Structure 1
């Protein structure tokens, strides 16, 4: 018997004409009430841009699909002072992406051509506008070798700093409402790490294991993440058809269940940041009967969330 609430998250909200192979990194832009997300494994990879009603969260029309001339992008965020431009994590590092044309400008290559099995993955932007990025080391993930992945911080002045090492599969990154803590999902060991965060300098310290998902299924784990105004963590669970809500102390509070086995990433949206949008993927083992992976879900939990911040460069 569990001591947390289990809720029904509802059916598909937006059905992609072609299901996303690996939908990820949703972000909401208030200025024109649009939801943006990516399909990492589309060929070529794609950005989807959908107009929504800012009050109800209802979809308006169909998403515009932007093809990106890279082998993959794994995360995208808006740039604060550059209209129509994203900062993105691509397989080997960081780039700027033009929202209208799909043009790419690589700004920092982090992973060398010789580093086989390595790629950049999920990312976050802190309240001061710095871009944080975690690596994936496929060898460590699949074979248990010594992890080579890093946690990077890319500042608006173009400087880039290794902030932590030993990362296996870097995923969701978020900050507490008071900005005293930074949270970082490593799906490899199925751990949510908490760091003390200094907003003025961008430094992190006092690394603490906040959540260890020993009950996650084989091959599943903690993926994308956002924080609400009370400090709770809303984590999309790969392989568990749910979003889990944890307290700032790491206690499981709720499980919101959806009809898709591979939930990937969360974001807050709407004019009051009170609507949760969740992307999903088709299982790597292939489509399953009744599984709605590859589409986008919406849930109204009755709380407000913290917005995803924009890069200040």
Structure 2
């Protein structure tokens, strides 16, 4: 990975952008990336999502458990491990989603609030809490993001010790599991129906995760790099989409929707941040000419206009 410093795009005061760094890290100019952009018939981007349904970040699922805990186990060809995905859907737009990967470390717990994402949430550091049968187990700081069709949510990354305590408490819960996501005015109040089997599967997954400290440290470093690259990708794509919405003649070239080769972890992070970055970019370029915005994108990405857009 390149250690090149990110540049500042002076489209609006006070906001830093990382598209130049992303271009260098992922050899953007040489087309090494994987993501999908949906284009409407009129040519404006009406919906943007990472390939393969945001890599399981969409709220909807054929296996989703409504008012009960369900789980699904799948082999992950990218991590080389087995994933256990646990979910509890309170509606088509809200619920709790938990992921454990035997090739990873700890758990990812996502609380989907059910209402539309607001860019103001980006600056928040939500303080979450987890309670089982009326007893608070522990609290955790989360990260806000937009999930699926721009639904607000929070992701909590639980390290091995907390992940094990969480899973054990889920397995032994008798009546209620509650999650306070830190952004909603009410907690997620869930029944314990199905939690015994789901918690047991999470514990089995955690028990087979890597124990070697050096391997874990290396994985943590890789996760940090993937998060940075994913945010860079989201910022870059956010400006491209915002420009096309403002100026339909700047239609992103179809080739930019078919590239392969990026770590799925990068794509997952990009999906989490893309909706918010697009909204932010739209606000920033609202009073700037199309030509000026396009010139800045070309300048910071290292790509030519012909490589970026099919002019209408």
TM-score by length of 2: 0.30
Higher relative contact order (CA 8 A, sep 6+): 2
TM-score by length of 1: 0.29
